Amino acid sequence: MGEKSFIIKTFFVLWFLSSIGILNLGVGESQSATLSSTTNWTCFPDGTPSPCHRSLYSIALASASDGWAVGVEGTILHWNGIAWVSIPSPSTKRLNSIALVSANDGWIVGDFGAILHWNGVAWSTAISPTSANLLAVAMVSADEGWAVGNNGSSGVIIRWNGRTWSNVPSPTTNWLGAMAMISADNGWAVGSAGAILHWDGNNWSPKVSPTTSGLSSISMVSANDGWAVGGNGTILHWDGDNWSKKPSPTTKPITSIAMVSAIEGWAVSGDWFDLSLLRWNGISWSIVSSPTTVHLSAIAMVSSGQGWAVGWGGTILQWNGSSWSIAAIPTTSNRLNSVTMISTNNVWAVGDNGTILHWDGIHWSSIPSPTNNELQSIAMVSSLDGWAVGFGGTILRWNGNVWSSVASPVVTSLNAVVLTSASDGWAVGGEGTILRWDGTNWSKEPSPTTKAFLSVALVSPVDGWIVGDSGTILHWDGVHWSTVVSPSPMDALESIAMFSADAGLAVGWHSTILQWDGVHWSNVPNSLNVGLTDVKIVSPNDIWALGNSDRGKIFHWDGSSTVTMVSPTVSNYLYSIAMVSAHDGWIVGSAGIILRTGTDGSANKLFLPLILNDNQLSQPTRDLHSNPRLSNTR
């Protein structure tokens, strides 16, 4: 089988022993000595107030020159009248809501009962009476405030009396996601299934609701004039006696509302593909175009002439009285499915909505794309010749100047593409689709199966492999593709990497790892407990794999041990990795996340364009973490 195959096999034996604890080679003290330089993930300074592009979920303004925004991973930003700047945070939890009493007195609440207090100098952690996720906070004065949330099974209410926060019984099992206090004896809270609660100074009590849609935000103009919004474009109005449903210009979720007066108000609405701003003119709500397609989570108005909206990926919009403009926005918020490297200073990535990004050694830039279809894979022959494929049989080609569409012989989604030369390439996809490039045209080749193909790798023009759904494995011998017996027929194989004709790896769902020894494929037992999405072999002593569980994970084999690195991206999945050397590579994934391993062995996280807040009411429900290739290929 040769030395290369032996080394690969030895790697798997050690990996297995490490994973089950027979050898101390897994996560633990031993890993810091091996790869300590790669565990220090930092965000690349890119000129934005949040270089990691962490999503923002709430905003509050004390004045035109004093505002705050909070979000994931304890993110706190401050507006000083000139710029938004990052402020040290005492928490790494997701922060969901902020309320200000004055410029020197503010409160933030978040997941797992997080409560932070601002004293005019610094934010500090306050004692919390709950471990529930707190989704909203509203202050009446320095001595009176409320926060609401959910504990997974019912609504949670806590109260501030000027000294401590304490639990207050909730009259509903519904989750509570927003609130507004008019005075110490007049307040409102809204939540899931159209829940509406009222505070009369003594008790919280349910009120009749005209909707069963989840309510995500509430804004009161006065005791007799208020608005609440939520899922399915729901808009409710309070007239002092009853809540009633009002005509809405959208059926999309409305995530936040801010009223300036009885005749002026704003709301943000939308899902992944249809985002808009809504405006109230005293008579009706109408749609106002947004300068971004990124999902917005919250909006706050100082006056009719100044307002802010914040959202995923650290997006910040500003209202100047006549128009909304972008104050900060990530390079992309689209899921990135594939990355490839020509060199250190020439890297490409593709993803959803036809996204094409290019790294020139200094920065990532968005490149014009001739399609809006999701692009699943990219392969470059040289800096002047490259290919990308995607949904609906999409095939794009790079000629050194522009990307253009190329005629495709299929409408089936294409999931992977590989080139051995400018005149020899393959693309594979759903329903057993196999396409071949001969230097002139793409043509459909016979396939022995109708299973979806997810990855393709060529050792040479006469030696190649395809893997896919249900453990499917095909081999190319230079004449035809034939089915090879799979040792894992129940699990989808997401990625394959070949080091030589007799050494290769394939990875997939349920921690599946298969090894090719030149004769047959065999299972490699392990206890990683994650679905594996990609694998790359730089050398026998330098192998990388990506995995997804609660958070994206990165596995690295350095020749002596396997190190598991938890990605600092909270909930983003990682889909593709490209390496040109041992310490020079990129990883891309859901929500436009881009990670980089520096040439000095350190690793820098460049972008965190957006994170889905799973607990926030009326958020779009598209699964960020689903397989981007199987979803449209069966």
Tokens linked to 563: 């190190």
| CA 271/CA 276 separation, integer angstroms | 9
pLDDT bracket for residue 563 (50, 70, 90): confident
Residues 166 and 157: their CA atoms lie apart, in Å, by 9
pLDDT at 626 over 80: no
Domain boundary among 286, 308, 328: 328
**Beta-bridge mates of residue 539:** 542
CB of 43 within 8 A of CB of 54? no
More confidently predicted of 246 and 2: 246
Backbone torsions φ then ψ of 303, nearest 5 degrees: -160, -175
**What is the C-alpha to C-alpha distance for residues 116 and 381, in angstroms, rounded to an integer?**
53
* Position with higher pLDDT, 270 vs 249: 249
Q: In this structure, are 260 and 281 located in the same domain?
A: yes
Q: Per the structure block, which two tokens stand in for 529?
A: 């407990």
Query: How far is residue 572's CA from residue 305's CA, in Å, rounded to a whole number?
Result: 37
- Residue 151 within a domain: yes
In a domain, 50, yes or no: no
The DSSP result for 32-98, as a single string, is HHHHGGGS-EEEPP-SSSSTT---EEEEEEEETTEEEEEEGGG-EEEE-SS-EEE---S--SPEEEE
Shared-domain flag, residues 394 and 427: yes
When mean pLDDT is compared over 21-30, 362-371, 389-398, the highest value belongs to: 389-398
**Angle formed at CA 568 by CA 40 and CA 256, multiple of 5 degrees:** 145
Q: Measured between alpha carbons, how far is 382 from 380 in angstroms, rounded to an integer?
A: 5
CB 430 within 8 A of CB 413: yes
Within a domain: 589: yes
Task: Give yes or no: residues 252 and 292 share one domain.
Answer: yes
Burial label, 80 (beta-carbon count in 10 A; 0-12, 13-18, 19+): exposed
If you average pLDDT over residues 591-605, what whole number do you get?
58
Same domain, 239 and 151: yes
Q: Does the pLDDT at position 531 exceed 70?
A: yes
Do 35 and 96 belong together in one domain? Answer: no
Among residues of the chain, what percentage have pLDDT more than 70? 82
CA distance 467 to 483: 10
Residue 634 lies in a domain: no
pLDDT mean across residues, the chain: 85
CB 484 within 8 A of CB 496: no
Q: Is the pLDDT of residue 607 over 70?
A: no
Residue 225 inside a domain? The answer is yes
Question: Mapped to the 3 state alphabet, what secondary structure does 370-432 carry?
Answer: CCCCCEEEEEEEECCEEEEEEHHHCEEEECCCCEEECCCCCCCCEEEEEEEECCEEEEEEHHH
Q: Which of 169, 167, 182 is nearest to 218 (CA)?
A: 182
Whether residues 474 and 534 share a domain: the answer is yes
Same domain, 16 and 137: no
pLDDT of residue 602: 40
User: What number of other Cβ atoms are within 10 A of residue 36's Cβ?
Assistant: 11
- Give the pLDDT confidence score for residue 334 in this predicted structure: 78
Mean pLDDT of 127-147: 98
Predicted confidence (pLDDT) at residue 598 exceeds the cutoff of 80: no
pLDDT over 60 (residue 36)? no
Domain-terminating residue out of 328, 360, 382: 328
Could you please report the per-residue DSSP string of 154-176? Answer: SEEEEEE-SS-EEEE--S-SS-E
Task: State which H helix or E strand residue 5 sits in.
Answer: helix 3-19
571 in any annotated domain: yes
The CATH number for 18's domain is 2.130.10.10
- Provide the domain count of the chain: 2
Query: Is the domain of 348 the same as that of 245?
Result: no
Quick: pLDDT tens for 308-350.
999 987 889 999 999 999 887 666 767 899 999 999 999 999 9
Residue of 9 and 419 predicted with greater confidence: 419
Domain shared by 248 and 371, yes or no: no
Say whether both 225 and 180 belong to one domain: yes
CA angle 368, 458, 10 (to 5 degrees): 120
142 closest CA partner among 117, 124, 167: 117
What is the model's pTM?
0.72
Q: How far apart are the first and last CA of the chain?
A: 36
User: If you search the block for the tokens 């303004």, which residue do you land on?
Assistant: 61
Task: Name the least confident of 46-50, 384-388, 488-492, 506-510.
Answer: 46-50
Say whether pLDDT at 2 is over 90. Answer: no
Residue 567 has pLDDT above 70, yes or no: no
User: Both 349 and 381 in a single domain?
Assistant: yes
**pLDDT tens-digit readout, 275-300:** 889 999 999 999 998 888 788 999 99
Count H helices and E strands in the chain, helices first.
2, 57
Residue 423 has pLDDT above 70, yes or no: yes
- Give the Cα separation of 93 and 83 in Å (integer): 24
Kindly give, in sequence order, each residue whose CB lies less than 8 Å from that of residue 520, ignoring residues fewer than 6 positions away.
485
Asked if the structure places residue 49 within a domain, the reply is: no
Looking at 270, 300, 328, the residue that finishes a domain is: 328
Q: What is the per-residue pLDDT for 600?
A: 43
Q: Which residue has the higher pLDDT, 512 or 573?
A: 512
The residue assigned the tokens 């402020």 is: 87
Same domain, 300 and 189: yes
Q: Is residue 361 part of a domain?
A: yes
Span of 142-151, 176-185, 466-475, 591-600 with lowest mean pLDDT: 591-600
Domain that holds residue 316: 56-328
